[in-house]
Amino acid sequence: MRPITRKARELRPSKSGNIPDDLNSYDEPIVLRGLVNHWELVKKSLHSDIAAAEYLKAFYNGRPTLTYFGEAGLAGQYGYNDNATQLNFKKEKAHIGGVLDLIITYLEDSAPPSVYIASNVIDSSFPGLRQKNDLDMSFAKLAPNSESPIPSIWIGNKSIAKCHYDASDNMACVVKGRRKFILFPPDQIENLYPGPLSPTPGGQAISMVNFCDPDYQKHPKFKQAEEKGITAELEPGDAIFIPSMWWHQVEGLDKFNILVNYWWSNAERFMGSAMNALYHSILSLRDKPAHEKAAWKHVFDYYIFNDELLPTQHLPPESHGLLSPLDELKSRQLRAMLVNKLNR
């Protein structure tokens, strides 16, 4: 991969834990140096590997969680087999205490097997951990009916979470080990060569480009993505804000890495999944004749992607129906209508 020289913009909070009130207004990734330096888990992590593991174990409630296991040759590159029909690692429920013990055991191994716990909801496995390891997310100014941010923890040895996007805004806090982020704006999707929609390593499609050794003959447009890319390398205590839909590859650089992240969206909780809309569009539109698809693109632009008031500005208010802003009742009615139509 050719070096990406553009670095993510950085802010240094006036005090550890203080998130700028206007952070949500940024449409690019922002590094927040030292944001979680005050967390007790960060302090334990800086003290020693064993101190970090034992601190987590003290809160662990024994509940098994989904864990990724890869052979030694995987080197943490969780992805696909050669023909992208199967994942190149196994997913199994495991005891987190045992996973932490494995990571400690592997510290002396120059080429250990890969082990990774991805996106484990903290409160489901570590009740009480957030008391001294949490962020005030009030800066997000969430709508009254939106979902509250739910912090998750990621634990593993060296790893590469292949380049992907998330539908929500993201605050990723590095707790132990160094993390490298390689990020691209949403409009680079074509140049990143997304993989299958199913199966996927973690939910979203990933880039099929091997960033460690790009094949420019196979993926020539990746050179254009590189020109738009930005990077950030974070130390324990640092955090990065990643706006929704930004593509990002996350590399755990050390032999023991822990990250805590928060996802959130200002969308009302009654709204449907945009991914489900994509699946339905594949079912309903993708394979139609080209001239029909071109016409439907205009229809979608008019009703979905243009000014939301455009379709109703010439209509009497009492006729707006589903064209008026959604509320919980309208969303239930629309959901019921869709289910009824899909079942025919």
H/E stretch holding 223 reads helix 222-228
The per-residue pLDDT for 145 is 80
How many angstroms separate the CA atoms of 184 and 1, rounded?
14
How many angstroms separate the CA atoms of 202 and 67, rounded?
11
Q: Are 222 and 188 in contact (CB under 8 A)?
A: no
The per-residue pLDDT for 1 is 66
**DSSP-derived 3-state class of residue 332:** helix
* Strands ordered across the beta sheet of 30-32: 9-11, 30-32, 239-242, 169-176, 257-264, 150-156, 114-121, 65-70, 90-94
* pLDDT tens across the length of the chain (344 residues): 677 889 999 998 878 888 988 898 899 999 999 999 999 999 999 999 999 999 999 999 999 999 999 999 898 999 999 899 999 999 999 999 999 999 999 999 989 999 999 999 999 999 999 999 999 998 888 878 888 898 999 999 999 999 999 999 999 999 999 999 999 999 999 999 999 999 998 889 999 999 999 999 999 999 999 999 999 999 999 999 999 999 999 999 999 999 999 999 988 888 889 999 999 999 999 999 999 999 999 999 999 998 888 888 898 988 888 888 888 989 999 999 999 988 87
How many angstroms separate the CA atoms of 300 and 310, rounded?
12
> 315: left (phi > 0), else alpha (psi -120 to 50), else beta?
beta
Q: Does a cis peptide bond (omega within 30 degrees of 0) precede residue 199?
A: yes
Q: What is the pTM of this model?
A: 0.93
Residue with tokens 């959604």: 326
Sequence letter at residue 314: H
The per-residue pLDDT for 144 is 80
Say how many C-beta atoms besides its own lie within 10 A of residue 161's C-beta.
25
How many angstroms separate the CA atoms of 130 and 113, rounded?
30
Spell out the residues 6+ positions from residue 84 whose beta carbon is closer than 8 angstroms to its own.
Answer: 195, 196, 208
| DSSP, residue by residue, 8-63 | PEEE--SSTTPPPTTGGG-SS-EEETTTTTT-HHHHHHHH-HHHHHHHHHHH----
Q: SS3 string of 76-138?
A: CEECECCCCCCECCEEEEECHHHHHHHHHHHCCCCCCCEEEEEEEEHHHHCCCHHHHCCCCCH
The per-residue pLDDT for 2 is 74
Domain ranges of the chain: 9-264, 274-342
Architecture category of domain 9-264 in CATH: Sandwich (2.60)
